Structure 1
Amino acid sequence: MEKQLLEDLLVIDCASFIAGPAAATIMSDFGARVIKIEPPVIGDSYRQLMNVPGMPPAAHDYFWTLDNRNKESLALDLKRPEARAVLDALIEKADVFITNFPGPIRERLRLRAEDVMPLNERIVYASLTPYGEEGPEKDRTGYDATAWWARSGLMDAVRATPDTPPGFSVPGMGDHPTATALFGAIMTALYKRERTGKGSAVSTSLLANGLWSNGIWMQAALCEADFSVRLERGMRGALTELYKCRCGRWFMLAMLNYQREWPLLTDIIGKPEWRDDPRFATHEARRANAPALVAALEEVIGARDWSEWKPLFQKAGITFGPIAQPADHLECPQVAANDFLPEIDGAAGLRTVDSPIRMTGQQKRKPGKAPAIGEHTRAVLAGIGMNEAAIDAMIASGAAAE
């Protein structure tokens, strides 16, 4: 079998929930060995998220399946000296250490960069925080819903009208792009290590990534833009609006190349006479009469199903986007052609979501099942030289669990 790009790397995932652990997941997709450190018995609190009200029920824990595939679970009580000795032994061998624990917990458990890096001069220490490494909020707890979505301004910016209440984010919506940023930081540090032989401490935060995701509006604010006017439906132009088909499906027109696309649209919808209609004949006229054009398009588009409109838009080459729902992608030919939803090895056809990075000539690992709490405790402890009696004693004491 072809050697995978990160196959020689050992990553310690000493983190919880999503953004930190998901960076390790991306590394595992490219072959890295990832050992996840979890508390005995209860494990990572992320395992409980499916029980939160409002989460759609399913036969599998989709949270854990997605973000902890390919990993080995080592259950350790890091408050116990013997458990900490095990972690130190792993740190001495590891290439990457990832944590997102709050600052006071890192200090209490001796998991800060100044605690970890002296044990291994080549290690990359990767830190994920909600609000950044410095400042009055550096030790505040937070999730992507609070630090990425709400705090960054994205939550407010996407409201349909000034009177529309702010909308909740989808679970992990900010965590996964933040994990990709942390992955990039780790790989940058590994590149530096190739040049210098020394490890580094790298970091990112949910807030920094939220501000970056909202970067256009943030740069506008920095340039003293006026945000006092929020556009109502139709005011941004009829050719860059949302429309609803007869079947209930919504889609988005994004016709920025209106000189080419406007005639194509009028042909598709059977209204070539609109090209000579003084209300719509020019870009300026369409802008001035946007509410009328929106209403006219709503009537025409609402008379047919999406299954009829989609091939017409595709054939004409008009820029559009269906407002998809998750289940739409399960049998999507485009998704299938790119293997964006690969099968999990040994999971009876269960699929997962691939991480979004590809490299020509590099085969990703076939996804493996996410581990049970402490599933690999014995194997990992044996791998650092502990004999069977010592492992039994450690498990019996509660310092470790299987």
Structure 2
Amino acid sequence: MTGALDGVVVLDLSRVLAGPYAAQIMADLGATVIKIENPRDPDVARGFPPYLRAGDAEVSGYYAQYNRGKLGLALDLASEPGREVLTDLIRRADVLVENFRPGTMDKLGLAYETLAAVNPRLVYTAISGYGRTGARSRRPAFDNTAQAAGGLWSMNGYPDQPPVRVGVTIGDLSATMFGVIGTLAALRHAERTGQGQLVDVAQVDSILAMTETAVVDYTVDGKVARPAGNKHSWVRPYELFPCADGQVFFGGYTDKLWRVSCELFGSPEVADDPEIDTMRKRFDEEVYERRVKPLILGWFAGRTRAELEELAGDVVPLTAVKNIGEVVDDPETAARGMVVDVAYGALGTLRMFGQPVKLSVTPATPARRANELNEHADAVLTAVAGYSDERIAALREAGVV
């Protein structure tokens, strides 16, 4: 069965996370993705832990998770012959993904305008820290740059303590998602009209777009978002609560959910208490801390996470807070195909996350091995660029490939 993006050819020139992950999602969905790396300076993520090892051989689990299902080609873009090879690949490609600092591709003579002249229907997706326009566009950036400059870092953590970064690389990951959305939208347009375009995605922009109500809280009420710990800024109850063997999230804040919760936990009379009988009353912080929260703490005390989920999890938003090992080993995770196993020969089996996008007719294929450096050079240059064996041999001899 072919994937939804079957027939789409993607050239992935990106490194580390935001770009590679965007291209990996397209590979999962059926695109032919060609990972193009510098033969003398390949993707640094190949050296990131954790590693599958056997003797002197190893593979990075990090690299494998974000580059699965791609074809590998090493190409020296600093050389004129290398740029000629890329140009020939561009003629047959639908999408190019890169996450260099803006201006890098221009210096190589591979600017969007140049490549668009070769292939007018090309979708050129550029992911960077600050985007391709503005006074900050040339600044170097990492995930933490986006969390800091996009406002998210200042909002995360506990009140009256220094702010805390989000514990995953959300700057990269958010840019990945917006990059894929933009690419697919541009691809749809290109397929319909023959006109490609530049997709410009910035990590900082992506972070700002994920700050929920912080922007309108400021523009409407002048309120600057601050760290709130595990609490929502105004929805109550909607936070973490302790129980006998850990913590659970409980979010029974609407009138309907609150009434059901009172009944489930043996306090039906509380639902009609005139001080806390409406959602708006329970949102009041003083009332919540004095009346509502102590009641919930009493409900949960002495009960385990499993007992609480068994009692109420199918009726109200009540969920055990699990560590990643518990999530990976959860049968429901397996049932959703969200942990996939890939064999790496003598190195063993790599277990990694699957593809969250479930398509009923053209399902994704995430359980695939990542490419070795330059592993598929002959196949790519023959099938996509149309090169002869003699020309490929000459490129190898010259160190271009």
Does structure 1 conserve the Cα–Cα contact (< 8 Å) formed by 2:156 and 2:228? no
Q: Which residue of the other structure, out of 330, 346, 361, is the alignment partner of 2:328? A: 330
The within-5 A match list for 1:124-139 is: 124-139=123-138
Does structure 2 conserve the Cα–Cα contact (< 8 Å) formed by 1:244 and 1:298? yes
CA 1:137/1:286 → structure 2, altered by over 3 Å: closer, same or farther? closer
Q: Which has the higher strand share?
A: 2
The within-5 A match list for 1:47-196 is: 47-50=46-49, 61-147=60-146, 149-161=147-159, 163-196=160-193
CA 1:232/1:280 → structure 2, altered by over 3 Å: closer, same or farther? farther
Q: Give the distance between the partners of 2:15 and 2:127, measured in 1 at CA.
A: 10
CA 1:327/1:58 → structure 2, altered by over 3 Å: closer, same or farther? farther
Quote the residue 1:34 is aligned against.
33
In the TM superposition, residue 367 of structure 1 has moved relative to its aligned partner by 2.8
Give the partner amino acid of 1:195. R
In the TM superposition, residue 280 of structure 1 has moved relative to its aligned partner by 5.3
Q: Which ranges of structure 2 fall in alignment gaps of 5 or more residues?
A: 54-58
Q: Give the % identical residues.
A: 26
Give the partner amino acid of 2:260. L
Q: Secondary structure at the match of 1:369?
A: coil
31-40 or 325-334, which moves further after superposition? 325-334
Q: Secondary structure at the match of 2:353?
A: coil
Quote the residue 2:395 is aligned against.
394
CA 1:194/1:377 → structure 2, altered by over 3 Å: closer, same or farther? closer
339-348 or 193-202, which moves further after superposition? 339-348
41-50 or 302-311, which moves further after superposition? 41-50
Quote the residue 2:361 is aligned against.
361
Q: Secondary structure at the match of 2:161?
A: coil
1:351 aligns with 2:347: no
Q: Give the distance between the partners of 1:91 and 1:82, measured in 2 at CA.
A: 14
Q: Give the distance between the partners of 2:119 and 2:392, measured in 1 at CA.
A: 25
Q: Give the distance between the partners of 1:296 and 1:214, measured in 2 at CA.
A: 31
177-186 or 345-354, which moves further after superposition? 345-354
Does structure 2 conserve the Cα–Cα contact (< 8 Å) formed by 1:345 and 1:366? no
Q: Give the distance between the partners of 1:200 and 1:95, measured in 2 at CA.
A: 11
Does structure 1 conserve the Cα–Cα contact (< 8 Å) formed by 2:236 and 2:253? no
105-114 or 385-394, which moves further after superposition? 385-394
Does structure 2 conserve the Cα–Cα contact (< 8 Å) formed by 1:278 and 1:285? no
| Deviation by residue 1:292-336 (Cα, 9 ceiling, x = unmatched) | 342453354232221211111124x11223333222222324333
Give the partner amino acid of 1:319. P
The within-5 A match list for 1:240-251 is: 240-247=238-245, 249-251=246-248
The two structures, once aligned, show a CA RMSD in angstroms of 2.8
CA 1:65/1:290 → structure 2, altered by over 3 Å: closer, same or farther? same
Does structure 1 conserve the Cα–Cα contact (< 8 Å) formed by 2:3 and 2:362? yes
Give the partner amino acid of 1:21. P
Q: Which ranges of structure 1 fall in alignment gaps of 5 or more residues?
A: 51-55
Does structure 1 conserve the Cα–Cα contact (< 8 Å) formed by 2:355 and 2:364? no
CA 1:151/1:325 → structure 2, altered by over 3 Å: closer, same or farther? farther
In the TM superposition, residue 277 of structure 1 has moved relative to its aligned partner by 6.7
Q: Give the distance between the partners of 2:380 and 2:282, measured in 1 at CA.
A: 70
Q: Secondary structure at the match of 1:174?
A: helix
Q: Give the distance between the partners of 2:238 and 2:201, measured in 1 at CA.
A: 34
| Deviation by residue 1:149-201 (Cα, 9 ceiling, x = unmatched) | 2222112212221x222223334323233222211212212221222222222
In the TM superposition, residue 286 of structure 1 has moved relative to its aligned partner by 8.3
In the TM superposition, residue 58 of structure 1 has moved relative to its aligned partner by 6.8
Quote the residue 2:311 is aligned against.
312
| Deviation by residue 1:27-46 (Cα, 9 ceiling, x = unmatched) | 11121111111111441122
CA 1:305/1:176 → structure 2, altered by over 3 Å: closer, same or farther? same
Quote the residue 1:53 is aligned against.
none
Q: Secondary structure at the match of 1:394?
A: helix
CA 1:371/1:279 → structure 2, altered by over 3 Å: closer, same or farther? same
Q: Secondary structure at the match of 2:241?
A: strand
Q: Give the distance between the partners of 2:32 and 2:135, measured in 1 at CA.
A: 36
Give the partner amino acid of 2:333. V
Q: Give the distance between the partners of 2:125 and 2:191, measured in 1 at CA.
A: 17
Quote the residue 2:15 is aligned against.
16
TM-score by length of 2: 0.86
Q: Secondary structure at the match of 1:223?
A: helix
In the TM superposition, residue 346 of structure 1 has moved relative to its aligned partner by 6.5
CA 1:264/1:96 → structure 2, altered by over 3 Å: closer, same or farther? same
In the TM superposition, residue 118 of structure 1 has moved relative to its aligned partner by 1.0
Q: Give the distance between the partners of 1:112 and 1:358, measured in 2 at CA.
A: 35
Q: Give the distance between the partners of 2:184 and 2:157, measured in 1 at CA.
A: 36
CA 1:104/1:190 → structure 2, altered by over 3 Å: closer, same or farther? closer
Q: Give the distance between the partners of 1:192 and 1:285, measured in 2 at CA.
A: 48
In the TM superposition, residue 228 of structure 1 has moved relative to its aligned partner by 7.6
Q: Give the distance between the partners of 2:398 and 2:282, measured in 1 at CA.
A: 79
278-287 or 116-125, which moves further after superposition? 278-287
22-31 or 319-328, which moves further after superposition? 319-328
Does structure 1 conserve the Cα–Cα contact (< 8 Å) formed by 2:73 and 2:377? yes
CA 1:282/1:216 → structure 2, altered by over 3 Å: closer, same or farther? closer
TM-score by length of 1: 0.86
Does structure 2 conserve the Cα–Cα contact (< 8 Å) formed by 1:238 and 1:291? no
